[in-house]
Structure 1
Amino acid sequence: MNKKWWHDKVAYQIYPKSFLDTNGDGIGDLKGIISKLDYLKELGIDIIWLSPIYKSPFIDQGYDISDYYSIAKEFGTMEDFDELLSEAKKRNMYIIMDLVINHCSDQHEWFRKALADPDGEYADYFYFREGKNGNPPSNYRSYFGGSCWEPVPGTDKYYLHMFAKEQPDLNWENPILRQKLFDMVNWWLEKGLAGFRIDAIMNIKKDLDFPDFGPDGPDGLSGCWRMIESVDGIGELLDDLKKNTFEKYEAFTVAEAFNLNKSELNKFIGENGYFSTIFDFSAQCLSDGKHGWYDSPDITFKKWRETIINSQLDVQKVGFEANIIENHDEPRGVSRFLPEYARNADGTKMLGTISVLLRGIPFIYQGQEIGMQNAIWKSVDEFNDINTIDQYYIARKAGLNDTDALAACSKMSRDNARTPMQWDSSKNAGFTNGTPWLKVNSNYKLINVDTQEKDSDSVLNYYKKLLSVRKSDEYIETFTYGEFIPAYENTETVMAYYRVFNNKRILVIANFGKDTATVPVEYSFKHIILSNKGRSSLPTTSISLESCEVLVLECDN
């Protein structure tokens, strides 16, 4: 494998709207991010991913872009962004941005021109199609609910939107549009951007016949993703994107690529893949309901362990994946993957250790390093997320009462990850001296950066040690390039694996159970690298782990 500059890096996702507000308008901004670069550097972060900061009406929190070349005034100015790039570079840190090129905003100049002339040049930047017998062109349901087709005023045509109706899909079959997108990507890379996280990229290839599919819900519609999964040819578009942009700059790219077939992994993240890496969402997909959040299954430990192990074994033959516990589109990992008895500091450290030391690029989401948890939601009116509100009404239509529908949304809502970052115990968790755009989690006085920085045994200080171990001269090659070998799979509550590289073998082992778990020693040990419970004596014939205990042990090999 050819070594790349990003292989041994640790990334951190910032959701700018909720990170730190410096001007009192209740919305986080670029100056807030700049002021916390030293905090992130001390944590052990190399790459910072910014969720969208482009000009936008914010129908879908900035994933509806109205101008790809402008910074939204809510976040600051292009001068602020240039300062962020400069300050990050001084600290040997890299900035990547969200790249949203499956769709844009209905306020984008291209779409306004398309609506003004539905038979003109710009209409072909999108998917304008005539209806069938007074109905939309096909029976697709959007990701956010309702038809994917919105009428074009004054015509018998409709335009396609796989997300909100304010997010028209871009027509990647149009070479002029593609070139404009490539020009935009290169403009940012020329500015000094290190790369991109690429949003919803699997949706760019459409079946231009837009055939109907059998209904899969009581609304008589079919999920639009069924069309995406049935069409071939996305590889040509992705290869075109790579060769005309990323490849020229040795850019780091991480793609959001759901529903990827294992046989396709090499094309996506192999030596000459379309992207540097893709996110591993396999564990997150375990809570997918058949009809929505209201029938989302609970995640069992054994299924979670099996899923992580299988994903690691599949990917290490090919390239690198990006490992996450949570992100801006998911609930908090502590509340999702840990049973109630483990939703404490020890359990949080344990979950973090298992994730960060896997093979792949660790992505930490803001607040994960202090163990932020899901909020308590008292009413659907407290939510801001368009998807959560849609899921609430899906649950009500399915027959759930208000209490049960709210409970389903409280468990799964994306707003759990979007509540403001908890910096200290002062008003609004130190996020803003104004009114925050989304409510602050009520536990901020117990869980915040300031309190944890002063506590040597805190989750935050443990994360610093964890990242320091991963990046240390002694272990960086083992944790970057070392083979992943699962261990103790036949146990009820133990998640364990070896990382092996050249003459080093390291065991990462954790007990997710409520009771003590004991397993036999397979290799003798010479060193405790990390312990979340302060253990100092080496195991000899057996390893006994308390509930929520994790150990990282160097073997004699």
Structure 2
Amino acid sequence: MKKQWWHDKVAYQIYPKSFKDTNGDGIGDLRGIINKLDYLKDLGIDIIWLSPVYCSPFVDQGYDISDYYNIDPRFGTMDDMDELLAEAKKRNMYIVMDLVVNHCSDQHEWFQKALKDPDGEYGQYFYIREGKGDQPPCNWRSYFGGSAWERIPGTNKYYLHLFAKEQPDLNWENEKVRQEIYKMVNWWLDKGLAGFRIDAIINIKKDLRFEDFPPDRDDGLCSPSKMLECADGIGTFLKELRDNTFRKYDAFTVAELFDYKEEELRNYIGEDGYFSTIFDFSTHLIGASEKGWFDRKPVTPNEYRDVIFRSKLKTENIGFLANIIENHDEPRGVSFYIPEGECNDKSKKMLATIHIMLKGIPFIYQGQEIGMTNNEFESIDEIDDIGTKNEYQVALKAGYSPKEALKIISKYSRDNARTPFHWDDSENAGFTTGKPWLVVNKNYKEINVKSQINDENSLLSYYKKLIRLRKDEEYKDAIVHGKFNPIYTEYDNVLAFYRKGESKTVLIIANYQNKEVTLPFSHQNSKVLINNYNNFKVDNGMIMLEPYQTLVLDV
């Protein structure tokens, strides 16, 4: 596999609205990010991905873009953006922005023109179809619930929106649309962006028959994933996008890619792939149900291990995956992957070790490095996320009480990851001097940067150690580029693997359970590189690990 400039980097996702507010309006801003660049540099971060800061009505937290060429005033100005790019460059850091081009906002000038003349030039920028009598063109469901079609007032025409009705899908079959997108992408790359995180990109290719599929819920609708299975030819669009934009700049691209065909994986992240990498969402799908969150099953350690190992072995000779525990679209990883009642400093460090030591480029989400957890929402009124509100209604319709439905959605809500960052134990966790746009997690006095930054045993310090090890010249070849070989797979709740480089072999062993385990061990003379306990026991060819004990060994 050809080595790339980004392979040995560590990335960090910032959700700007919740990171750091500097003007007291309760919303994070670009100035707050600039002020915290040294914190991120000290952590060991190289690449910073910013969730959308473009102009937007914020129906879907900025993923409904009304102007791709401007910064939303809530976040600052284009001068602030230019300063952020310059300050990051001084620190040898790279800025990556969200590229949201499956859809735009219904307030975008293109869509406003389309509404005025659905049959005109700008009507062709979107998917506008005649209804079937008084019904939508077909029974596709939006990802956020309800029909994926919305009637244009005063007509029997409908426009397609796979997400919210305020997010009309752009018609990638129209070459004018594609050229407008490429022009915008290059404009940002010319400004100094290092690349893009590419949102929901698999959705840009539709099944143009626009036909019904068998319903998968009582609402008579079907998931968009059914349509995507029948939508062939996305590679033509993605190759053209790459060749007209990213490739010319050697840009770093990481795609959000669900529902792709596994046999086409090399086309996405291989030597001549459409993208640098794609996020590995395999563990996030564990326990999911088509019925809704109310039917979701908790993650087990064996499932987590088996899914990760399958993913890594599948891509071993193809390309790098982007490894995540959490992001802005998921609940907090320590609350999702660690069994209820067992989330503590040791188990958090275990999860961190697995994340950073796996093959691929690690993406850390803001607050992950200090162990931020899910929030305990007291009312549905505290929820902002449109998808969570829909799942609340789904649970109610399934027969759950409002109290039960709130508990269900609190466990899986995206708002868990969007609560304001915990900088210290002062009011509003040091995020803002005003009223935060979203409720602050109640445990901010116990979990915050200030309480951890000078504590060498803290989770924050532990993340720094892991990142330093990943970048260490002596071990970089093994940890970044080395072969991935699982071990101890016959043991329940044990997650272990070798990373084998040309001159070094590193063994990672994690006891993923709340009890001791004893394993056969043949590396008595190994060197301890990382240990989330103060010691470990080896005796008569056996190694004994404490609950959630995790080791990184030079063997």
Normalising TM by the smaller chain, what interval? over 0.9
1:98 paired residue number: 98
Percent identical residues: 60
2:186 paired residue number: 186
Q: CA deviation at 1:400?
A: 1.0
Residue type at the aligned position of 2:208: L
After the TM superposition, which of the residue ranges 400-409 and 523-532 deviates more from structure 2?
523-532
Question: How far apart in 1 are the matches of 2:218 and 2:549?
Answer: 46
**Structure 2 counterpart SS, 1:82:** helix
Residue type at the aligned position of 1:414: R
1:107 paired residue number: 107
2:145 paired residue number: 145
Residue type at the aligned position of 1:367: G
Deviations 1:58-79 (A, max 9, x none): 0000000000000010000000
1:465 paired residue number: 465
Question: How far apart in 2 are the matches of 1:435 and 1:380?
Answer: 19
Question: How far apart in 1 are the matches of 2:247 and 2:25?
Answer: 39
Confirm or deny that 1:402 pairs with 2:411: no
1:68 paired residue number: 68
Describe the shift of the 1:539–1:199 C-alpha distance in structure 2 as closer, same or farther (beyond 3 A).
farther
Q: 2:228–2:259: 8 Å Cα contact kept in structure 1?
A: no
Question: How far apart in 2 are the matches of 1:45 and 1:423?
Answer: 17
- Provide TM-score, normalisation by structure 1: 0.98
Let me know the Cα RMSD of the aligned residues. 1.1
1:513 paired residue number: 513
Residue type at the aligned position of 1:60: D
Question: How far apart in 2 are the matches of 1:334 and 1:315?
Answer: 25
After the TM superposition, which of the residue ranges 69-78 and 285-294 deviates more from structure 2?
285-294
Residue type at the aligned position of 2:150: E
Question: How far apart in 2 are the matches of 1:259 and 1:300?
Answer: 23
**Structure 2 counterpart SS, 1:171:** coil
Confirm or deny that 1:278 pairs with 2:295: no
1:527 paired residue number: 527
**Structure 2 counterpart SS, 1:407:** helix
Deviations 1:105-130 (A, max 9, x none): 00000000001111100000000100
Describe the shift of the 1:138–1:531 C-alpha distance in structure 2 as closer, same or farther (beyond 3 A).
same
Q: CA deviation at 1:220?
A: 0.9
1:166-245 equivalences under 5 Å are 166-245=166-245
Deviations 1:143-179 (A, max 9, x none): 0001111011121100000000000000000001100
Q: 2:422–2:430: 8 Å Cα contact kept in structure 1?
A: yes
Residue type at the aligned position of 2:55: K
- Provide TM-score, normalisation by structure 2: 0.99
Confirm or deny that 1:24 pairs with 2:24: yes
Residue type at the aligned position of 2:145: G
Q: 2:536–2:545: 8 Å Cα contact kept in structure 1?
A: no
2:84 paired residue number: 84
2:45 paired residue number: 45
Question: How far apart in 2 are the matches of 1:424 and 1:371?
Answer: 14
Q: CA deviation at 1:291?
A: 0.8
Question: How far apart in 2 are the matches of 1:45 and 1:406?
Answer: 36
Question: How far apart in 1 are the matches of 2:471 and 2:360?
Answer: 13
Question: How far apart in 2 are the matches of 1:22 and 1:538?
Answer: 52
Question: How far apart in 1 are the matches of 2:427 and 2:212?
Answer: 53
**Structure 2 counterpart SS, 1:287:** coil
Question: How far apart in 2 are the matches of 1:388 and 1:235?
Answer: 32
1:121 paired residue number: 121
Question: How far apart in 1 are the matches of 2:217 and 2:341?
Answer: 36
Residue type at the aligned position of 2:146: G
Instruction: List runs of 5+ in structure 1 lacking aligned partners.
Output: none
**Structure 2 counterpart SS, 1:141:** coil
Instruction: List runs of 5+ in structure 2 lacking aligned partners.
Output: none
Confirm or deny that 1:551 pairs with 2:548: no
1:155 paired residue number: 155
Question: How far apart in 2 are the matches of 1:289 and 1:376?
Answer: 23
Describe the shift of the 1:364–1:540 C-alpha distance in structure 2 as closer, same or farther (beyond 3 A).
farther
2:360 paired residue number: 360
1:310 paired residue number: 310
**Structure 1 counterpart SS, 2:528:** strand
Q: 1:525–1:554: 8 Å Cα contact kept in structure 2?
A: no
Describe the shift of the 1:129–1:447 C-alpha distance in structure 2 as closer, same or farther (beyond 3 A).
same
**Structure 2 counterpart SS, 1:522:** coil
Q: 2:537–2:544: 8 Å Cα contact kept in structure 1?
A: no
Residue type at the aligned position of 1:390: N
Q: 1:149–1:160: 8 Å Cα contact kept in structure 2?
A: yes
Q: 2:524–2:538: 8 Å Cα contact kept in structure 1?
A: no
Question: How far apart in 2 are the matches of 1:546 and 1:291?
Answer: 38
Residue type at the aligned position of 1:246: F
Question: How far apart in 2 are the matches of 1:98 and 1:540?
Answer: 53
1:436-475 equivalences under 5 Å are 436-475=436-475
1:373 paired residue number: 373
